[in-house]
Amino acid sequence: MPLSTLAIVLFALTVFGFLFGQRRAVAFRAESRARNGPPLHSQPGYHGWFVVIWCGLPALVLLLVWVALEGTIIRSLVIDSLPPEVKSRDESEIQLIMAQLGNVAYGVVTLAQVPETIRDAVASGVGLYNSLRATANAAIWVLALSLCIAGLLYARRRLSPHLRARHTVERVANVILFLCSLIAILTTVGIVLSLVFEATRFFARVPVTEFLFGTVWSPQTAIRADQVGSSGAFGAVPLFAGTLLIATIAMIVALPIGLMSAIYLSEYAPPRVRIVVKPALEILAGIPTVVYGFFAALTVAPAVRALGEAIGLQVAAQSALAAGLVMGIMIVPFVSSLSDDVINAVPQSLRDGSYGLGATRSETVKLVVLPAAIPGIAASFILALSRALGETMIVVMAAGLAANISANPLAAVSTVTVHIAALLVGDQEFDSPKTLSAFALGLVLFVVTLALNLIALRVVQAYREKYD
Amino acid sequence: MTELAAAAPAGAEGASLRPSTRDLSPHMSDAARARLKTRYRAEQRFRAYGIAAISFAMLSLVILLWTILSNGTTAFFQTHIRLDVPVGADRLGLQGSGPWTPTELRLASWDRTINLAMQERFPAVTSRADRNLLSRMVSPGAGEDLRNMVIADPALIGRTVQVWALAASDIDMFWKGHIRRDVPEAERRVNDRTVGWIDDLTARDEIRSQFNTRFFTSASSVRPELVGVAGSVVGTLMTLLVCMALAVPVGVLAAIYLEEYAPKNRITDIIEVNINNLAAVPSIVFGLLGLAVFLNFFGMPRSAPLVGGIVIALMSLPTVIIATRAALRAVPPSIREAALGVGASKMQVILHHVLPLAMPGIMTGTIITLAQALGETAPLLMIGMVAFVTDIPNSVTASATVLPVQIYMWAGSPERGFVEKTSAGIMVLLVLLLAMNAVAIYLRKKFERRW
């Protein structure tokens, strides 16, 4: 029977357990009142939750762990049982066999539809696969139900007028809260582990030095051994250079405009203007990046090209300038809202002092407010840069795949994120250097943005302490 | 002060008689005046830079929205051609004399029926090449429409039915003016003969624009005139639902822990720094995480809203936590102290008092976070949500795509007809985003409380 049914049964049992515990406590209370005895330690609801903790929680945890691991374990058991000559084939073929095996077992395809080369292997495994699945299904039903009922019985024995149910419940709740906050750490660990693991597999085939310092990027590897000229080159320098070029253009657009907008909004703008401009900037910030990408490819790139050709310049159809320009527009609200916060945090007394000495507004801004706010503004610039480096959709749609080393903003360049996306989109075998290289690129991206974020956080913290 | 006030008018009237205080002041020398002038000019310039910056940002927004609107609005209307279609059993290739089963009807030659009707409408067209051209004027969607009409009412067989047949994308583009008549024939996707036929149809009022209901009821297709957003909108909603079911409870509980319980120690510090960092990790890295962990390690299905939802949930978790913490912090300590004072336990203080009071703030922050997640594209590309899906997904483990990814795929299609469909898809996406933000603003306005 499907696991969803099991989940519903367990849920029903847990609800029953809650009501049971609550009723018992109400009965205890009535009894105690009749004898003029002491009041209950905990409210009846806590007795209910106490039962839930014993009967629902362990079964739920078991079920989740089971669902997470069942597939992997059954898979490895089936692979172990395959005949030795099948096991000795290479990894991608075993993956294919397992995929087909799953399809046959779930009735998506019949055995006759499986390609002939692997039909025998699939046929040999499918019986074991099905029987293991059936056993696993029966086992989880028995285990989860017995765990649930055992918990119910145990909790029933523990229920008494003296039970300090609230203490138990609150302690458990506390642990659950802590575990929830750990999920953020787990995510980071997961990111680091998956990137490092796959990147190590990549670096086992391509040396780190070639990846970091090589100047040719063409990840096409030969499909057949005798194929000519496609051994694959994994020098990522062109991608790093392209990323830097586009991010630099974006920052050249975003920094002055973002900062000046923030200054104007916080120091000059009359309330009427603020009321219109602030939400408009928020809209600009809320527009999904895929929309910016479409805008870049449809409007900005042709416009840049037409403009360039009008003054006699050679402009690539997917120029770095167009992508950088649009990315800059995307980052403007980000810079401006961060800088706005920082500028507003500068105490008014500093401004008043400056005005008192006869300084104009712009002098106050340039000589008093900005120097006081500089750490925060620097942090916002760093965060903006980290965002520009990690931005994907705009460059995927407007920058293209040409991995050139060029400092010319009118040439076509490509970025790290574009190639991560290009290498992994679509069905690909998973253990070729080609796909693994995407994880190495991801690792570089992650490390760089992480470093930038840490620096920015440090700067902001130092700044905060100064004025709090 | 009084002295100055008295001196000023005197100086103004009789400057020639005696030196006024203005002239005596070292701030009023010619050099100082010149300095002041430059300073004021600098002030004006600085202000102008600010205005220019704001104007640039606003102008970009306007151009962007204008691009989308001007390209996209026409997609909500589709060109149709009026045809008198004789629905004969012989033309449909139906055997016997009926009644036919729905399966037989479904498999009948609907396209051929439409094509024959097209040829009868233009009897002068006889050559094979021209007839081919003629049949390419109508979309296969016209056959589908006719089929659905007849399956709903089989009595139509044997009669001549007047239908508004869906025109092919090129005809649609021409009719809407996106393919221009004055372009030389060799560079035009619609050749002169076809233009002649369209003129003939126009003259007799047999071609017109109709509201494009298909755009809201169908999924994607390779033909621009047949595409719709329903499939990707359903996929988006499923993904968002999974994301919400995971990110909101976990995020709120984590925020409660960090704000109310966490002791000041190393572990707490690490968690806090971690959350702040995670909020700034590029979204594509989350896609790599999803690919490596959920697809390859746990063997979850590709392209499924379930996996998409989990990845997006991990991504929006830090933002939910940060927003919730801000909302919890906004509840004044007096509330907590009062509750503690009447004997509530810490858990009771939080569950009975703090959390309900912080709820509007939490909901607002969460909805805005979800709105951001709604527009996320890159991580979903990584986990295979670029699948070409022509059906509306029916479960969280089925192959699906989401609206932003659909927009990305349409944007990459070369046909001219996809430009307006992409823009229209973006309009739908922006409307969804606006709606979510409007709900958030409404909640904030309605429940906002100043302590």
Interface contact flag, B292 A197, Cβ < 8 Å: yes
Q: Amino acid identity of B56? A: F
Contact A317/B at CB under 8 A: no
pLDDT band per the 50, 70, 90 thresholds, residue A3: confident
List, for residues A28-51, the tens digit of each pLDDT value.
888 888 888 888 888 888 889 999
Is A227 a residue whose pLDDT tops 60?
Answer: no
**CATH assignment at residue A340:** 1.10.3720.10
List, for residues B320-356, the tens digit of each pLDDT value.
999 999 999 999 999 999 999 998 888 889 999 999 9
Q: Which of A94-108, A386-400, B102-116 shows the lowest mean pLDDT across its residues?
A: A94-108
Is A446 a residue whose pLDDT tops 90?
Answer: yes
A106–chain B nearest CA distance, Å: 13
Instruction: Check residue B17 and give its pLDDT.
Output: 53
**B169: Cβ contacts below 8 Å, ≥ 6 apart:** B139, B223, B224, B225, B415, B416, B417
Size of interface A-B (CB pairs under 8 A): 266
Residue among A190, A365, A421 minimizing CB distance to B378: A421
Sign of CA dihedral A342, A344, A349, A352: positive
Alpha helices in A206-315 (DSSP H): 208-213, 237-263, 271-286, 289-295, 301-310
A175 occurs within a structural domain: no
Distance CA B312, CA B371 (A): 11
Length of chain A: 468
Is A466 a residue whose pLDDT tops 70?
Answer: no
User: Which residues of chain A make contact with B262, given a CB cutoff of 8 A?
Assistant: 181
Percentage of residues in chain A with pLDDT exceeding 70?
A: 94
Contact B296/A at CB under 8 A: yes
Q: Amino acid identity of B179? A: I
Q: Give which of A75, A91, A260 to mutate to test B binding, by max B Cβ within 10 Å.
A: A260
Interface contact flag, A298 B67, Cβ < 8 Å: yes
Torsional class of B75: left (φ above 0), alpha (ψ -120 to 50), beta (otherwise): alpha
Judge if A297 and A153 occupy the same domain.
Answer: no
- The arithmetic mean of pLDDT across residues A180-207, rounded, is 90
Instruction: Check residue A430 and give its pLDDT.
Output: 63
The DSSP output letter for B31 is H
Q: How many CB atoms lie within 10 A of CB A433?
A: 17
Phi, psi of B299 (to 5 degrees): 65, 35
Is B8 a residue whose pLDDT tops 80?
Answer: no
Instruction: Check residue A462 and give its pLDDT.
Output: 74
Contact A4/B at CB under 8 A: no
Interface contact flag, B39 A360, Cβ < 8 Å: yes
Contact B373, B308 (CB under 8 A): no
Mean pLDDT of chain A: 86
Nearest CA in chain B to A68: B298
- The arithmetic mean of pLDDT across residues B252-272, rounded, is 90
Instruction: Check residue B99 and give its pLDDT.
Output: 77
Kindly report each contact of residues B258-261 with a partner whose C-beta sits within 8 Å and lies 24 or more positions away, as own/partner. B258/A181, B258/B321, B258/B325, B259/B324, B259/B325, B259/B328, B259/B329, B260/B328, B260/B346, B260/B350, B260/B354, B261/A174, B261/A177, B261/A178, B261/B346
Q: 344-373 in B: which are within 8 Å (CB) of A? A: 345-347, 371-372
pLDDT band per the 50, 70, 90 thresholds, residue A431: low
Q: 233-262 in B: which are within 8 Å (CB) of A? A: 249-251, 253-254, 256-258, 261-262
- The arithmetic mean of pLDDT across residues B240-263, rounded, is 93
Percentage of residues in chain B with pLDDT exceeding 70?
A: 94
A149–chain B nearest CA distance, Å: 27
A73–chain B nearest CA distance, Å: 10
Contact B326/A at CB under 8 A: no
Instruction: Check residue B3 and give its pLDDT.
Output: 45
pLDDT band per the 50, 70, 90 thresholds, residue A332: very high
Interface contact flag, B280 A383, Cβ < 8 Å: yes
**Distance from first CA to last CA of chain A, Å, rounded?**
61
A176 occurs within a structural domain: no
Instruction: Check residue B157 and give its pLDDT.
Output: 83
Interface contact flag, A445 B278, Cβ < 8 Å: no
List, for residues A339-385, the tens digit of each pLDDT value.
998 898 889 999 999 999 999 999 999 999 999 888 889 999 999 99
Q: How many CB atoms lie within 10 A of CB B153?
A: 10
Tell me: domain B230-447, CATH 1.10.3720.10, correct?
yes
A327 occurs within a structural domain: yes
Mean pLDDT of chain B: 86
Interface contact flag, A68 B298, Cβ < 8 Å: yes
Task: Go through A277-308 and write b for each residue having 16 or more CB atoms within 10 A of its CB, e for each that does not.
Answer: bbebbebbebbbbbbbbbbbbbbbbeebbeeb
Is A18 a residue whose pLDDT tops 60?
Answer: yes
Angstrom CA distances, A44 to A29, A164, A296, B167, B399, stand at 8, 11, 62, 69, 47
Distance CA B137, CA B207 (A): 12
Q: Give which of A187, A338, A361, A431 to mutate to test B binding, by max B Cβ within 10 Å.
A: A187
User: Which residues of chain A make contact with B68, given a CB cutoff of 8 A?
Assistant: 291, 295
Torsional class of B303: left (φ above 0), alpha (ψ -120 to 50), beta (otherwise): left
Distance CA A84, CA B330 (A): 65
The DSSP output letter for A113 is G
Instruction: Check residue B310 and give its pLDDT.
Output: 94
**A78: Cβ contacts below 8 Å, ≥ 6 apart:** A98, A101, A125, A128, A129, A132
- The arithmetic mean of pLDDT across residues A439-451, rounded, is 94
Contact A236, A212 (CB under 8 A): yes
Contact B377/A at CB under 8 A: yes
Complex ipTM over 0.90? no
Instruction: Check residue B18 and give its pLDDT.
Output: 58
Q: Write out the residue range of the structural domain in which residue A113 sits.
A: 3-163
Residue among A72, A173, A329 minimizing CB distance to B60: A329
Judge if A411 and A299 occupy the same domain.
Answer: yes
The label of the residue with tokens 């939490």 reads B362
pLDDT band per the 50, 70, 90 thresholds, residue A231: low
- The arithmetic mean of pLDDT across residues B279-308, rounded, is 88
Query: What is the edge-to-edge ordering of all strands in the sheet holding B160-166?
Result: B160-166, B77-86, B207-211
Q: Can you read off the two tokens belonging to residue A390?
A: 């990690």
A208 occurs within a structural domain: no
A119 occurs within a structural domain: yes
Phi, psi of B162 (to 5 degrees): -90, 120
- The arithmetic mean of pLDDT across residues B194-215, rounded, is 88
Instruction: Check residue B432 and give its pLDDT.
Output: 93
Is B124 a residue whose pLDDT tops 90?
Answer: no
Instruction: Check residue B22 and give its pLDDT.
Output: 59
Instruction: Check residue A70 and give its pLDDT.
Output: 80
Interface contact flag, B299 A178, Cβ < 8 Å: no
List, for residues B423-447, the tens digit of each pLDDT value.
999 999 999 999 999 998 888 888 8
Nearest CA in chain B to A283: B61
Contact A442, B399 (CB under 8 A): no
Residue B209 pairs in a beta bridge with B79
SS3 of residue B205 by DSSP? coil
Report the predicted TM-score, pTM, of the whole model to 2 decimal places: 0.87
Interface contact flag, B254 A177, Cβ < 8 Å: yes
Q: Which of A297-301, B15-19, B45-49, B183-187 shows the lowest mean pLDDT across its residues?
A: B15-19
A406–chain B nearest CA distance, Å: 25
Contact B116, B88 (CB under 8 A): no
Contact B337/A at CB under 8 A: no
Judge if A159 and A240 occupy the same domain.
Answer: no
pLDDT band per the 50, 70, 90 thresholds, residue B88: confident
Instruction: Check residue B339 and give its pLDDT.
Output: 94
Nearest CA in chain A to B69: A295
Instruction: Check residue B154 and give its pLDDT.
Output: 82
The DSSP output letter for A411 is S
Distance CA A64, CA A70 (A): 10
Q: Give which of A92, A181, A332 to mutate to test B binding, by max B Cβ within 10 Å.
A: A181
Instruction: Check residue B13 and give its pLDDT.
Output: 47
List, for residues B362-411, the tens digit of each pLDDT value.
999 999 999 999 999 999 988 888 777 777 888 888 888 899 999 999 99
CA-based nearest residue to A439, from A411, A416, A465: A416
Instruction: Check residue B7 and give its pLDDT.
Output: 44
Contact A254, A391 (CB under 8 A): no
pLDDT band per the 50, 70, 90 thresholds, residue B19: low
Nearest CA in chain B to A382: B280
Task: Give one DSSP letter per residue of A226-240, joined into a string.
Answer: T-SS-S-EE--HHHH
Q: How many CB atoms lie within 10 A of CB B159?
A: 11
CA-based nearest residue to A242, from A378, A381, A398: A398
Residue among B51, B262, B277 minimizing CB distance to A264: B51
Residue A55 pairs in a beta bridge with none
Q: Can you read off the two tokens belonging to residue B237?
A: 């909603």
Interface contact flag, A392 B317, Cβ < 8 Å: no
Interface contact flag, B407 A421, Cβ < 8 Å: no
CA B253 to chain centre: 30
Kindly report each contact of residues B438-444 with a partner whose C-beta sits within 8 Å and lies 24 or more positions away, as own/partner. B439/B367, B440/B363, B440/B364, B440/B367, B440/B368, B440/B371, B441/B364, B443/B360, B443/B363, B443/B364, B443/B367, B444/B360, B444/B361, B444/B364
B150–chain A nearest CA distance, Å: 33
Instruction: Check residue A91 and give its pLDDT.
Output: 67
A37 occurs within a structural domain: yes
Instruction: Check residue B236 and give its pLDDT.
Output: 93
Domain count, chain A: 2
Q: 67-126 in B: which are within 8 Å (CB) of A? A: 67-68, 71
Angstrom CA distances, B441 to A110, B435, B437, stand at 54, 10, 6
Q: Amino acid identity of B359? A: M
Instruction: Check residue B108 and give its pLDDT.
Output: 83
A449–chain B nearest CA distance, Å: 7
Q: Which of A118-122, A319-323, A379-383 shows the lowest mean pLDDT across its residues?
A: A118-122
- The arithmetic mean of pLDDT across residues B29-47, rounded, is 90
Residue among A277, A427, A449 minimizing CB distance to B54: A277
Is B15 a residue whose pLDDT tops 70?
Answer: no
Q: Can you read off the two tokens belonging to residue A247?
A: 């991010």
Residue among B46, B56, B422 minimizing CB distance to A257: B56
